[in-house]
Chain A
Amino acid sequence: AQSVTQLGSHVSVSEGALVLLRCNYSSSVPPYLFWYVQYPNQGLQLLLKYTTGATLVKGINGFEAEFKKSETSFHLTKPSAHMSDAAEYFCAVSEVLTGGGNKLTFGTGTQLKVEL
């Protein structure tokens, strides 16, 4: 079964600083990987996804992630943090289910705090 590990349940950065949120995955097949963001009292919004092809994936709000198969990693970065980036971020891997269809296995999430 697939699994996802997010290192650091809380990350704090200064506004304008680099954001780096770490995600490592375990998958027996080539993975489909996702980053979602959740603002307070809201659902999950897709930031970006890796399926096949280019290993550097660009998403919304200036975020990007690089798929590194050798390191089984899919870290999320943003060059310059903004106050509006404060939220919880979830890394997820897609798993094809025996009944057909997919489910996402999520990491435990990283709460990003952005300070002035």
Chain B
Amino acid sequence: KAGVTQTPRYLIKTRGQQVTLSCSPISGHRSVSWYQQTPGQGLQFLFEYFSETQRNKGNFPGRFSGRQFSNSRSEMNVSTLELGDSALYLCASTRAGDRSAGELFFGEGSRLTVL
């Protein structure tokens, strides 16, 4: 069974630009979550999607957005990039339905560098 696939793995942008990251979950997983990992703040929850709907959102500004498609694939977008947005962005998928679905399966991440 293929794991969670994230693209691109690495990218460099400049301040003010926008970026879109893609995530394909494990087949059969309907919930997709996004996390930001930085040395200073650690792993922080961005948002979670289920059945094309954003169910939950972390404490991030509106520049951070996402969506989920009918095949459960998800994208996240960051607009008007700032230097502080440099991070590893991790996507995770899980079966949805019960609390044990708290077990998340992570992709390898997209490392964004903002210059």
Contact = CB atoms under 8 A, between A and B. Distances in A.
B115 interface: no
Classify chain A: how many residues form its interface, as a range: 20 to 34
Interface of B: 4, 6, 31, 33, 42-43, 45, 48, 50, 55-56, 58, 90, 92, 94, 96, 99-109, 111
Given A43-B90, A43-B107, A90-B43, A101 B100 contact: no
Given A42-B108, A43-B4, A43-B90, A103 B45 contact: yes
A103 B56 contact: yes
Nearest to B57: A99
A70 interface: no
Quick one: which of A44, A46, A95, A97 has the most chain B CB within 10 A? A44
A97 B55 contact: yes
A102 B50 contact: no
